Structure 1
C-alpha cells in the first residue's frame, strides 16, 4: 500500500483550502496518509526564511489575492484577517497527533473542524473548547487533548525534524514514501494524483 507523508500546519490557509482533496486521492489509489502537523514558524527560523509578516509587500498582496481566488474556486469560506491568526497551533496539533495514535475515528474530520474554526468562524484553535469540539467531530474522546499531550509534544517536534530532513519548506507538503516524490502546495494535488496513477 502506498503511503503519503502529509506535513502541514494549521496556520496555513493553503492547507485549509486543500479541503478533503488529499483524502479523496488517497481513497482513489488505496493509499494511506500519515498526518504530520508541525511548527511552521520554527520551520521558517530553521531555514532562515521570512515569516509571513516580514515578507515584502508585493508578496503579501499576492498571498491575499491567491487565498481569495482559492476560496472562491473551492467554495470554502475564508476570513483573510482571521482574528486569531497566527495563534499557538501546538495544543490543537497535539490533539491531532493523539487522535492519530488513538485510532478508531476520523482524523481528517478533526483537522477540518480545527481549520474551519480558525479560518471561517474566527475561533481560537488554542482554546480547549475548540479542540474538544474538533475531537468530538472526529468521533474521538475529547480527553485525548489532555492524555496525549506529552506524546503529542514529542511527536510535534519530531515531525518538524523529520520534515526538514525530508526537504519540506512550506505547508501543505506531500511526500510519497516509496518514490520520495515531493509535492508542495494545494495546487500540486493534481500532480500527486497523476503520480499515484503512474502517469507522471
Structure 2
C-alpha cells in the first residue's frame, strides 16, 4: 500500500484549488495520506523563495490571472482577494494536526477538514485564524472541537516544517510518495501522482 505525505498550508489558494483530487487518487490506489500543514513562510524562505508580496510584479500579475483560470477548470468558487488573507495559519494548522491524531478513533475526516478550512478562506472570506471558524469546520468534518489537543498539534508544526525543509519541500501543495521518494508540486501535478501510483513511471 502506498503512502503519501501531503505538505501544505491552509493559506494556499493552490491547495484549495486541488479540491478532493488527492483523496480521490489515494482511494483509487488504496494509498494512505498523512496531512502535514506546516509553516510555509519558513519552508519557502529556506528554499530561496519569496512571499507573494515580495515577488517580482510580473509573477504577481501572472498569479492573479492564473488563479481564476484554475478555479474555473476545477469548478470551484474563488475569491481572488479574500478579506482575511493573509492571516495567521497557526491555529488552523494546529487543529488539523490535532484532528489527525484522533481521526481513527473519532470517525472524523481530516481531508474534509483541510478542504473546509481552505474553502473558508478562499471561497467564503472567513478568517481561518478565528476559533469559531475552525470549530465550525471541525464539527462539519466529524470532529468534536473540545476533544482536540491543539497544544500538541501546535507543537508538531515546527518539527514538521523542519522535516519538510529537509525533504526539499518548497511550495504548496506538495506531495511525496514515501515508498519511491517521488515528489509532486502543485495541484496541476495530481495527474502525475496518479500515473506514478499506477506504475506508469
Q: Same fold (TM over 0.5)?
A: yes
- Mapped to 2, the partners of 1:43 and 1:181 lie a distance apart of 19
Q: Which residue of 1 aligns with 2:76?
A: 76
Matched, 1:149 2:150: yes
Q: Which residue of 1 aligns with 2:95?
A: 95
Q: Which residue of 1 aligns with 2:16?
A: 16
CA positional deviation for 1:45 = 2.7
- Mapped to 2, the partners of 1:125 and 1:58 lie a distance apart of 29
CA positional deviation for 1:12 = 0.7
Backbone CA RMSD of aligned residues: 0.9
- Mapped to 2, the partners of 1:67 and 1:106 lie a distance apart of 27
Question: TM-score with structure 2 length normalisation?
Answer: 0.96
Q: Which residue of 2 aligns with 1:57?
A: 57
Matched, 1:177 2:178: yes
Counterpart selection for 1:105 from 103, 108, 117: 108
SS at match of 1:143: helix
Q: Which residue of 1 aligns with 2:2?
A: 2
Question: TM-score with structure 1 length normalisation?
Answer: 0.96
Decide which moves more: 74-83 or 149-158.
149-158
How far does the alpha carbon of each residue in 1:144-180 deviate from its partner, in whole angstroms, 9 at most, with x for none? Answer: 4xx4222111211111111111111000000000000
Task: Figure out how many residues of one structure are paired with residues of the other and give that number.
Answer: 198
- Mapped to 1, the partners of 2:59 and 2:167 lie a distance apart of 26
SS at match of 2:126: coil
Unaligned residue ranges in structure 2 (runs of 5+): none
Unaligned residue ranges in structure 1 (runs of 5+): none
Asked if the contact 2:43–2:164 (Cα under 8 Å) also holds between the matched residues in 1, the reply is: no
Q: Which residue of 2 aligns with 1:85?
A: 85
SS at match of 2:7: strand
SS at match of 2:161: helix
- Mapped to 2, the partners of 1:135 and 1:156 lie a distance apart of 19
- Mapped to 1, the partners of 2:137 and 2:160 lie a distance apart of 21
